[in-house]
Amino acid sequence: MKAKKTLKYVALGAALILTLIVWLFPLYWIVTTSIKTRLDAFAYPPVWVFSPTIESYHETFVVSQSPMTRFLMNSIIISLGTTVLSMIVGTAAAYSLARYQFRAKKHLIFWILSTRMAPAIAVVLPIFLLMKRVALINTFPGMILAYTTFNLPFVVWMMRGFFGEISKELEEAALIDGATPWKSFWLVGIPLAAPGLVATAVFCFIFSWNEFLFALVLTGIQTKTLPVAITAFWSTSDLKWGQFMATAVVMIAPVLAFAIAVQRYLVRGITLGAVKG
């Protein structure tokens, strides 16, 4: 019996370690390649022990006139911009939907779900054509608006859920105490929904930061974001793996940090709360 149990534990341990290896290896690969010298990065057979260097980061971001830093700024501006816009507009709408009756609620739910399911290519085609007409291609406002297309319904959906969880009584108490509907929203609703606000904002930022197709189609040199910029690396030269991975690290580091911060809301955020999590 004991042998069977030990075997069980060993198998379990092996499975866990294998899982960790499989899922962390590529990340390990990215990080280590980013701190290898140019030679080491491209070496075959791969170099497992090496002396780390930050030359890739240096070349990519610090060297003057390196465009990558500008692309980083672009990503930040656009992601922040769309997050702010979507959060402000979406939260207000979410509150209204959560607290008041509307006859067209079903239509709204349908809209939100449909934007969640629509293929990006189907959305970007007409938006590209329309933006071309009003000269919004390769502009920050244009990009921010374009991203708002999918961020806004997401914010509305998430925040509606969060507001729904706050007991109405607190806002009613505020109304009786002397608050207008607006003040009740601002002084009671918002503070109580703060964790939800933060989590939703983080998700918006992450989605926008990681987005590729819209950026590919709608940006030009001035507004190019990191995901698009990094693919350019590959086409110009496949020997710059170190720089390439350094950019990758810069791209994913903030996202991973944020994600860890809001991991509690992760399942809810990605499934739109379809599964209670």
Partner 1 sequence: MASVTYSHVTKRFGDFEAVKDLNIEIADQEFLVFVGPSGCGKTTSLRLLAGLEDVSEGELYIGDRMVNDVAPKDRNIAMVFQSYALYPHLNVFDNLAFGLRLRNVDSAEIDRRVSLVAGQLEIGGLLRRKPAQLSGGQRQRVALGRAIVRDPQVFLMDEPLSNLDAKLRVQTRAELIKLHQRLGTTIIYVTHDQVEAMTMGSRIAVMNAGVLQQIDTPANLYNSPNNQFVARFIGNPAMNFFDARLNGAIEEVSIEGPGFRLKIPPEMHARLWQELEREIVFGIRPEDIYLSDRIPRDIAGELVEARVDVVEMVGNEILLYLILGESGCIARVDPRSKVHIGQSVQLLFNMAKMHLFDKETGQAVR
Partner 2 sequence: MSGAAGGQENSTATSARVYSKQRNFFKWAMLLPTIIILLILTIYPLLYMVWTSLHSWNLTKPQYGYKFVGLHNFATALSDSRFLGSVLTSLTFVVLAVAFELALGFALALLLNRARWYVAPMRLALLLPMMVTPIVVGLVFLMMFNGTHGVFNFFLDSLGFGKIPFLADPKTALLAVVIADVWQWTPFVMLIFMAGLATLPDAVLEAGRTDCVSWFQELWYITLPLLKPVILVTLLIRTIDAFRLFDLVYVMTKGGPGTATETLSMYIYVQGFDKFEMGYASALAILMLVMVNIVAQFFIRTIYVEESAA
Positions in the binding site for partner 1 (CB under 8 A): 167, 169-170, 172-180, 183, 188, 191-192
Structure tokens at 63: 């060297």
Q: Closest CB to partner 2 among 6 and 271?
A: 271
Question: What residues between 14 and 53 interact with partner 2 by CB under 8 A?
Answer: 15-16, 19-20, 22-24, 26-27, 29-30, 33, 42, 44-46
Q: Which of 53-61, 135-143, 166-174, 237-245 is the region at the interface with partner 2 (rule: CB under 8 A)?
A: 237-245
140 near 223, Cβ under 8 Å? yes
Residue 204 interacting with partner 2 (CB under 8 A): no
DSSP string, 62-115: ISTT-HHHHHHHHHHHHHHHHHHHHHHHHHHHHHHHHHS--TTHHHHHHHHHHH
Residue 222 interacting with partner 2 (CB under 8 A): no
Cα–Cα distance, 50 to 32 (Å, whole number): 9
Residue 265 interacting with partner 2 (CB under 8 A): no
CB of 165 to partner 2, least distance (A): 17
The binder of 192, among partner 1, partner 2, none, by C-beta within 5 to 8 A per type, is partner 1
Structure tokens at 143: 């990009």
Q: Which one among 6, 7, 234, 264 touches partner 2, defined by CB under 8 A?
A: 234
Q: Closest CB to partner 2 among 5 and 44?
A: 44
Task: Report how many residues bind partner 2 under the rule CB under 8 A.
Answer: 88
275 near 267, Cβ under 8 Å? yes
The binder of 11, among partner 2, partner 1, none, by C-beta within 5 to 8 A per type, is none
Cα–Cα distance, 121 to 149 (Å, whole number): 13
Q: Which one among 57, 95, 154, 265 touches partner 2, defined by CB under 8 A?
A: 95
CB of 274 to partner 1, least distance (A): 28
3-state secondary structure of 274: coil
The binder of 173, among partner 2, partner 1, none, by C-beta within 5 to 8 A per type, is partner 1
Contacts of 77 (CB under 8 A, 6+ apart): 140
Give the 3-state secondary structure percentages of the chain, helix then strand then coil, rounded to 5: 80, 0, 20
Q: Which one among 206, 208, 223, 246 touches partner 2, defined by CB under 8 A?
A: 206
Map residues 140-179 to x or -, x wherever contact with partner 2 holds by CB under 8 A: -----xx-xx--xx--x---------------------x-
**191 exposure class (CB count in 10 Å sphere: 0-12, 13-18, 19+):** exposed
Q: Closest CB to partner 1 among 65 and 167?
A: 167
Residue 111 interacting with partner 2 (CB under 8 A): yes
The binder of 109, among partner 2, partner 1, none, by C-beta within 5 to 8 A per type, is none
The binder of 23, among partner 2, partner 1, none, by C-beta within 5 to 8 A per type, is partner 2
Cα–Cα distance, 143 to 225 (Å, whole number): 10
Residue pointed to by tokens 């507001």: 163
> Phi-psi category of 272—alpha, beta or left, where left has phi over 0 and alpha has psi -120 to 50?
left
Which amino acid type is present at position 27?
L
Structure tokens at 120: 């990006």
